[in-house]
Each structure stands twice: as structure tokens, then as C-alpha cells.
A and B are shown apart, each in its own frame.
Chain A
Amino acid sequence: MTQIEVVDDPLDDVTLVTRARDGDLRAYEVLVLRYQGQMYRFAARMLANRADAEDVVQEVFLTAWRKLEQLQEGAAFVSWLYRTTTNRCLNVIRTRKPQAEVEPEEHEATGGLPERSIEVSEQMAALERALPTLTKEQRACWLLREVDGLSYEEIAKTIGCSVTVVRGRIARARVQLAEVMAPWR
């Protein structure tokens, strides 16, 4: 006797964006839940500060809501999120006071946020500590490629520069990170 399982069919981005454009809040909630984690992790690694990262993500999703009309196709939604989140992070860093090129967080909660519930390995902690030693452009390119898996073309569009420059930045970032984490000289 076959078992029939009724499973919730996750809706595609195009459908969700179309409905959200109509004012369907529930559809937008799904989009937020689907992508807030990715954007948050990216922002947290760019800014080395979880509270700031949450603020950026909040602004990004509010702006996205207001700009839904302007998005051509649902498929562009994620790209738009990455572009906006990246640029917002770059701006935050640009307008920070110079001496507060922030020390990466230790294990204390910042801005009232809870500590990570999952322990981070020493090697990943070392990588997190190494990231702020990159320039903000190198960090953005490296994260988008190596952690978020965007293509060189997508990164170039996101940041607004050529693919060649993106490659160069990622190569430099790799050298820098490897050296900081495990110096070979």
C-alpha cells in the first residue's frame, strides 16, 4: 500500500516576489526567512560585528520591500540582495571612525545579541580574525566567491568593477589570509 505524503511545496522566488509586489506580506515573510541568514552571515563577516550586521540586514529587507516594483524578474531578487548588502556594508565601513577599524569580536555578545550556540573551530576562528586584515574590497570579493559561491561575473556586477579586478583581489586576499592564519615565511 503506497504511502502518500503531503509536503509543503516551497514556492519559487518569482511567485513570491510577484505576490509580495501585490502586498502579500506572507510571501515576503518567506523571502525574508529564506535569505536573511545568508545576508546576515555575509554582513557579519564584512563588518566583524553582529549588531551592525543585523542593522544592515534590516535596512536591506525594508528597502527591498519598497523597491519590489523595480525588480524585473524574481530571479533578480537574490542578486539585488547581495548588491545592496555589499554596498551597504562598504558604506558602513567607510563611515566608521578610522581608529575603530573594529577588532573582530571575541566571544562576548555585542549589542545584546546572544553568543553563538555552536562552537566555532579554532581554524574558523583564526579565519574570522584574519578577515579584517584585508581591505574591504578584497574581503567583499573573497567572501562572495569563496563563501557565498558567486561567479566572477556576478561579483563584478555586485561591486561595480571588472572581472580582472575581482580576480586580482581574490588572489591577494588568499595570500594575505593564508599568511595571517599560518605564516609560511
Chain B
Amino acid sequence: MAMNDTDESYLLPCGRDVEAVWDRLDEIDAHELECPHCLGARESLRALRAATEEMANDTEQPSHALFGRIMSAVRADMGRGAMLALSDDDTGPVQVSERAIAAVLRFAADSVIGVRARHCEVVARLDVVFVSMRIAVEYGKFNVGVVDVVRDRVTAAASARVGVRVNRLDITVEDLYDL
């Protein structure tokens, strides 16, 4: 039987409220020791509590395919995004997604201890490459030298992993984070 939400408290035949029995499941008083209704309710509620704890600790995962479906849909939703032209020689133009470059540079900034890259934007205007980065730094570990390390790592990654020279790199420390 399904009870609706406007019902009064559920009272056992002995007058006790089930919710009160639940609240005191690990103690027992004189009435409950003798009362078959309360004892019965306590036993049921104990079973419920044990089953609930098991359910709460359950770690069943969805199928592996679900993750793939989600990311495919997300990628399709995203579209190509802006492309940065790298070079144009005899064999044709080469372009790299600005978003992909931003991910590489973010990763490079992350590699610096005490730094988390937050926002990274790569923009190319007429062969000039601007990178704008906002980072968060670990409270207690930060000093001005850290930004220089980030600068070095980012420009190195742009060159080594992408093949781009960054003309301008703006880094803003926008937040502190705590481990």
C-alpha cells in the first residue's frame, strides 16, 4: 500500500510513531522490550537500514559504451572551432585547431607545481599568435618566479608539441586554490 504525503505520522498499534522507533534504533527502552509491535518494527527497520547501507556503498557502473556515446554527442555539438594556419607550402596548407593548441598549453602550465591552468585562449590574427592564460596558484607555494616558469613551459610546448611560435603570452593569476 502506498501512503501519500499528507498522511499523518504512521502510528503503531501501541501508539508509538515509527519515525521515533527509527530514530532510536540503536537504543531500546522498557516499552519496546515488551512490545511485539515495536520489536517487529525495529527488526524490519534494521533490515532496511542494512540494505540501505549496502545500496549506498554500491559502485555499479554504467556500460563502457555510455561514456563514448556522451563524448561523441558532445564533440558533435561542438563543431570544428577556429583553426590556426601554420604554413602553406608546395604541398598545401596546414591548420591546427586553436582549441587543441589551448589544451596542450594548459597541460604545459599544469605541469608546473602549484599551478592549475584555468582559462587558455589561443588566437591567431594574420600570422601573429596571441595566447591569453589565466591560472590558479596554490596558496603558500606561490611566488613571482612561478609565472616565469609557466611562461617558459608554455612557449616550449607551443614550439615542441605544436610547431607554433607564440608572439604574445599574457598570464593572469586569477585565483588561489588550497590543496
A and B interact physically: yes
CA distance A148 to B2 in the complex (A): 23
Please pick, from A41, A61, A177, the residue contacting B48 in the complex, using a CB distance under 8 A.
Answer: A177
Least CB distance from A140 to B in Å reads 12
Check if A138 is an interface residue, CB within 8 A of chain B.
Answer: yes
Please pick, from A23, A25, A121, A179, the residue contacting B44 in the complex, using a CB distance under 8 A.
Answer: A179
Check if B9 is an interface residue, CB within 8 A of chain A.
Answer: yes
Residues of B98-134 at the interface with A, using a CB-CB cut-off of 8 Å, are 99, 102-103, 106, 116-121
CA distance A28 to B78 in the complex (A): 12
Check if A176 is an interface residue, CB within 8 A of chain B.
Answer: yes
Residues of A154-185 at the interface with B, using a CB-CB cut-off of 8 Å, are 165, 168-169, 171-172, 174-179, 181-185
Q: Are A181 and B48 in contact (CB under 8 A)?
A: yes
**Binary contact track B39-65/A, C-beta < 8 Å → 1, others 0:** 011011101101110111011111100
CA distance A32 to B62 in the complex (A): 12
Please pick, from B41, B61, B71, the residue contacting A25 in the complex, using a CB distance under 8 A.
Answer: B71
**Binary contact track B76-94/A, C-beta < 8 Å → 1, others 0:** 0110010000000000000
Closest 6 CB pairs of A and B: A184-B40, A178-B44, A127-B51, A40-B62, A182-B44, A123-B51
A-B contact pairs, 5 of them (CB 8 A): A62-B73, A127-B54, A135-B5, A146-B55, A168-B5
Interface set of A (CB-CB < 8 Å, partner B) = 9, 11-12, 15, 18-19, 22-26, 28-29, 32-33, 36-37, 40-41, 44-45, 50, 53-54, 57-58, 61-62, 65-66, 113-114, 116, 118, 121, 123-124, 126-128, 133-135, 137-138, 146-149, 165, 168-169, 171-172, 174-179, 181-185
Interface set of B (CB-CB < 8 Å, partner A) = 1-7, 9-10, 18-19, 22, 37, 40-41, 43-45, 47-48, 50-52, 54-56, 58-63, 66-67, 69-71, 73-75, 77-78, 81, 99, 102-103, 106, 116-121, 136, 177, 179
